Amino acid sequence: MSSIIAQPRYSCALAAQQTVLAIPRGIPVIHAGPGCSQKAYAFASTGAGFQGEGYAGGNNVPSTNTSENEVVFGGETLLIKEIAAALKIMKGDLFVVLSGCTSDIVGDDSIQIAKDFARKGYPVVGVETAGFKGNNYYGHEAVVNGIIEQYIGDVTPQVEPGLVNVFSVVPGQNPFWRGDLEQIKNLLEKIGLKVNILFGYRSEGIAEWKNIPNAQFNLLISPWVGLSTVRLLENQYKTPFLHIKTLPVGAKQSSAFLREVGAFAGLDQEKVEQVIQREEKRYYEYFMGLADFILAFRNNLPHQLYAVGDSNYALSTSRFLVEEAGFLLEQLYLIDDPGAEGIKIAKELIHSYFGGREDQLIFENDGELISEDLREKIGDSKKALILGSDWERDIARETGNLFTYLSLPIIRKTIVSKSYVGYNGALQLLEDLYSLPFHQGEFTSNTQRE
Amino acid sequence: MSVNLSTATVEIRENRLKTIINYSGTAKDLNEKSKQETLRLTSVDFSQCNSCQQGCADDMCGMIIGSATVVHAPIGCFATDIGRHIQGNSVSKIRNLGNFDSHTICTNLTESDTIYGGLDKLRTAVYEIYHRHQPRVIFITTSCASGIIGDDVESVAREAEDELGIKVVPIFCEGFKSKIWNTGRDAAFHGILRSIVKKSGKKQDDLVNVFNFEGVDTFSPLLAKLNLRVNYLLPMATVEQLETISEAACTTEICETLSSYAAEGLEDVFQVPKVKSPSPYGLNWTDQWLREIAKLTNREHLAEEVIRQEHERIEPELNQLRQSLKGLKVFVFAGDTYAHNLANMTRDLGVTLIGMNTMHRDQKTDSEDINTLDNLVHSLGDIPNFSVCNVQPYRVMKIIKKLNPDVLLTRHMGLYNIGTKLGIPSIPEGDANFSIAYDGVIKLGRRLVLALETKSLVQNLSEHAVIPYTDWWMEEENDVYIGEGEFDI
């Protein structure tokens, strides 16, 4: 892990404004310099396959745009004015004040100001998200925890059996987050759960958030992001949590996922098995159909897998490709700066998931070092598949190998509802991968590509 | 004279050019008031995010071939670096310059750096990038965080310069220091003029400096008609090219807002005359621009011939376009000078300009001989519904909804969706070079026709768009929000 960074793959804590925006009618109120919000948007929305401003993002985000005056004399008065105005002008259900470097260094008490508004009955929450405090994985957790602590607060849970809260991908930073959350919700609903998905187009917004304390259990689908959240909820509302370490991709992972969740929730095992059987049948019909192509063309198809992404995406998709699709793991580069606990979890997973070695995992946030290592390892191979960002796409092109997107930045592709999660997601991934050679000119089974 | 190279920092636009960011009225009124500098930089009671000068400075430095940039900031300030890499590559390919790699690194300031200072990391980053890429020049751009904690960036730059034997140029561009993001471009030019550009005894009489963004090469074929060559600045210029820009016959630009500081500096300090005409957008300004360049390069006879031929060449299609576009109501929403450029083109196409909003207004200009708003008022007469604000969709959406134009002419990512939400098609002006000169007018006309023909997209979406502003605000008459004084919490 490097302390200085070239070819960046994440943004700063303030980019968690995308987390706020991912809650239907959630409005961030930025207390920071004039360009912070715009850069966060450019990285984690435009730079995530052009996802657009959505309801109130992009240029719509309220921001104090702190100037020299606020740095010298403090910006609390300006922030109060901004929140008051945002409450009148913006049509929102939840306003989350996010402070940046300027205000957090000069010591504005943004959280107290937000709490003062909340005390008067306004739906306002305050979170310190100065860029120097951490990256946007950190910011995402801080925002979610801030909303739980300040907005949901001290209530007595009325536990509703079968209700589950899902904590998983980081909106924007995980480029397929919208599709992923839909897939997770679909999977869980199939086995009979009621799902608070909390973010994205199928979330009910703050009604779901208010309902968080009443869940039967919390489901964390992520190696480390969100651990503090489910622990907080366990502590605050005595809600138990199930920690599934990565997103389920493909039939093996999805079926195991449904079994584990079903057992934890105490669901009828037979019903869960019925769902699995139905899903697997459909899945393998499709997969089998594609296998004719894979086998006929395999002399020209890659088998060496390189993945650059965060611990959640990189580990789950690689596991699928290795376990189910015959790929050989060459190297994983984890870019999310997971911290000591996250690193320990990731190292355990590489063993337990596909018998990988520890040296097949590199934790690195300086993308230029990743590029260098990747170039060296690929050498003159033409059998590599690289999953990664726009930075790796250049390497794939240079070395004549195949590439598809897994992580930010992504500004040479549009992303709409795509997801690689679940049974259907894995089929999407295969469809994407095996269409790639056709983009490189004529491609047939009778002419060997050198 | 506004260029003072004896200081390390550039004088910010609000002080140097008396820039304002809030105004509602008419073009003529704004022009008169600007001339007398009676308008003040005011703040409003509610603002939405916009850009900062640090991002602009990084964009300026980040696409110079042979240089490297150290961004002394937390990672969020640097996160969008891929944009420069791909943008650079895209323009490099289109100009047949081969592959481009951005050479940049960020000090990734963390909490402990804000307490103990970030200079050690800055030093590490400068040496690291030197070893990775062996640049001829290293720029260091500063940020809000590095500025507030008071890191002495200049001392590190001087020390590294001595040790590495290359230029290490600090660009002071802390986001909070200026409300006008363009100050960051001025800051970058300031550093380049101070440290890189050399005074040269040589002259290249047929070379024209053109300050632009990453646009297509439209200037070369046009200026080739006058036997002139183009020196595109800054994206894709090499360090060597920057060192010798003072050899050019003259300097011009796509937009005053972008580079008036650089052009003025080149004229004042390096004796490269500036083309004293508005940029070549619209027929009359293109004629004027060609004549000015011709005067500076002794090619007057050629220019008159080119002007005559070009007018004749485009006339048939222009007449057709005017017929098709008759009665079309257009609203312009773009930077300052570039908005004036777009507005001036509406004149040739016979469409009606019903209003415009510019992102800021420089009441003064770096060069006293050029005032694009004054030129615009002369060209078009008064323009109603003229406002100034820096993006602020909560205001502009209301203005546009009220005026209900048929088409928006916009420049800047993220502005187009205002039109989408209202069912009004937008013409994006991403590539500023595309619209220059005679063909630029024709191409704009064609794009307007196409925008109307393909309107189903925005019409369809607008029927389902949800506007994030309260009904109270959308119905409130005032375009500017006036708060209720102190909010009691």
**Half-sphere exposure of residue B42, counting CA atoms within 13 Å on the CB side?**
14
Strand order through the sheet with A94-99: A26-31, A94-99, A124-128
Q: If contacts are CB pairs under 8 Å, which of residues 382-401 in chain A contact chain B?
A: 389-391
Residues in A touching B124 (Cβ below 8 Å): 3-4
- In terms of DSSP H, where are the helices of B75-110? 81-94
The reported pLDDT for the residue numbered B1 is: 58
Phi, psi of B333 (to 5 degrees): -140, 100
- For residue A429, give how far its alpha carbon lies from the nearest alpha carbon of chain B (Å): 25
Strand order through the sheet with B329-334: B23-25, B386-388, B352-358, B329-334, B407-410, B426-428
Alpha-carbon distance of B288 to B272, in angstroms, equals 19
| Residue A423 near residue A254, CB atoms below 8 Å | yes
Cis before B234 (ω within 30): yes
Residues in chain B: 489
Pairing mode, strands A94-99 and A26-31: parallel
Closest partner residue to B86 (CB to CB) among A68, A136, A412 is A412
Tell me the average pLDDT across A40-52.
97
Token digits of residue B422: 């209202």
A222-280 per-position pLDDT tens digit: 999 999 999 999 999 999 999 999 999 999 999 999 999 999 999 999 999 999 999 99
Residues B352, B356, B362, B364: what is their CA dihedral angle, to the nearest 10 degrees?
Answer: 30
A176-224 per-position pLDDT tens digit: 999 999 999 999 999 999 999 999 999 999 999 999 999 999 999 999 9
- B127-132: which pairs have CB atoms within 8 A and are 24 or more residues apart? B127/B160, B127/B164, B128/A4, B129/A6, B129/B68, B129/B70, B129/B103, B129/B104, B129/B105, B130/B68, B130/B160, B130/B164, B130/B166, B132/A6, B132/A368, B132/B103, B132/B105
Where do the domains of chain B lie? 52-180, 204-275, 311-474
CATH of B311-474, one of 3.50.50.60, 3.90.1300.10, 2.60.40.420, 3.40.50.1980: 3.40.50.1980
A87-110 per-position pLDDT tens digit: 999 999 999 999 999 999 999 999
Cβ within 8 Å, pair B145-A84: no
Cβ within 8 Å, pair B181-A5: no
Phi, psi of B479 (to 5 degrees): -80, -25
CATH fold match for the domains B52-180 and B204-275 = yes
A55 Cβ under 8 Å from any chain B Cβ = yes
CATH of A160-265, one of 3.40.50.1980, 3.10.180.10, 3.30.930.10, 3.40.50.1370: 3.40.50.1980
**Half-sphere exposure of residue A411, counting CA atoms within 13 Å on the CB side?**
21
Cβ within 8 Å, pair B50-A35: yes
- For residue A293, give how far its alpha carbon lies from the nearest alpha carbon of chain B (Å): 34
The reported pLDDT for the residue numbered B479 is: 86
> How sure is the predictor about A450, in pLDDT bands with cuts at 50, 70 and 90?
low
* Domain A299-440: CATH architecture, name and number where available: 3-Layer(aba) Sandwich (3.40)
Cβ within 8 Å, pair A4-B83: no
Name the amino acid, one letter, at A219. L
Strand order through the sheet with A160-167: A194-196, A160-167, A215-221, A241-244
A203 Cβ under 8 Å from any chain B Cβ = no
A318-338 per-position pLDDT tens digit: 999 999 999 999 999 999 999
Q: If contacts are CB pairs under 8 Å, which of residues 310-349 in chain A contact chain B?
A: none
- For residue A343, give how far its alpha carbon lies from the nearest alpha carbon of chain B (Å): 20
Q: Please report, in angstroms and rounded to a whole number, the separation of the first and last CA atoms in chain A.
A: 37
The reported pLDDT for the residue numbered B489 is: 61
Cβ within 8 Å, pair A6-B82: no
B247-297 per-position pLDDT tens digit: 999 999 999 999 999 999 999 999 999 999 999 999 999 999 999 999 999
Alpha-carbon distance of A381 to B78, in angstroms, equals 33
Rg (CA), chain A: 22
- In terms of DSSP H, where are the helices of B326-407? 337-349, 372-380, 393-403
Tally A–B CB contacts below 8 A: 243
Cβ within 8 Å, pair A35-B52: yes
The reported pLDDT for the residue numbered A294 is: 95
CATH number of A13-152: 3.40.50.1980
Alpha-carbon distance of A97 to A79, in angstroms, equals 9
Closest partner residue to A60 (CB to CB) among B76, B175, B468 is B468
Cβ within 8 Å, pair B106-A6: yes
Cβ within 8 Å, pair B106-A4: yes
- For residue B280, give how far its alpha carbon lies from the nearest alpha carbon of chain A (Å): 30
Could you give the ipTM of this predicted complex?
A: 0.96
A270 Cβ under 8 Å from any chain B Cβ = no
Closest partner residue to B76 (CB to CB) among A14, A27, A90 is A14
Phi, psi of A29 (to 5 degrees): -120, 110
CATH fold match for the domains A160-265 and A299-440 = yes
Residues in A touching B489 (Cβ below 8 Å): 80, 113, 116-117, 119-120
Where do the domains of chain A lie? 13-152, 160-265, 299-440
Cβ within 8 Å, pair B80-A39: yes
Residue by residue, DSSP assigns A20-78 as HHTSTTEEEEEES-TTHHHHHHIIIIITBT----TTT-GGGSBB----HHHHHH-SHHH
The reported pLDDT for the residue numbered B486 is: 59
Q: What's the whole-model pTM score? A: 0.97
Tell me the average pLDDT across A369-378.
97
The reported pLDDT for the residue numbered B484 is: 74
Phi, psi of A27 (to 5 degrees): -125, 120
- The residues, ordered by sequence, that sit 6+ positions from A391 with a Cβ below 8 Å of its Cβ are A7, A9, A308, A367, A370, A371, A409, B82, B85
| Residue B50 near residue A65, CB atoms below 8 Å | yes
Which residue do the tokens 């919700």 mark?
A185
Block means of pLDDT (10 residues each) for chain B, length 489 residues?
88 95 96 95 92 96 97 98 95 91 96 96 98 98 97 97 97 97 97 95 95 96 97 96 96 93 95 96 98 97 97 98 97 95 97 97 89 96 96 95 96 84 94 96 97 95 96 92 71
| Residue A211 near residue A163, CB atoms below 8 Å | yes
A39 Cβ under 8 Å from any chain B Cβ = yes
Rg (CA), chain B: 23
CATH of B204-275, one of 3.40.50.1980, 3.30.70.141, 2.60.40.10, 3.60.15.10: 3.40.50.1980
Which superfamily does CATH assign the domain made up of B52-180 to?
Nitrogenase molybdenum iron protein domain (3.40.50.1980)
A383-432 per-position pLDDT tens digit: 999 999 999 999 999 999 999 999 999 999 999 999 999 999 999 999 99
Cβ within 8 Å, pair A40-B76: yes
> How sure is the predictor about A2, in pLDDT bands with cuts at 50, 70 and 90?
confident
> How sure is the predictor about A380, in pLDDT bands with cuts at 50, 70 and 90?
very high
Which residue do the tokens 């995308």 mark?
A18
Alpha-carbon distance of B267 to B436, in angstroms, equals 23
Cβ within 8 Å, pair A60-B466: no
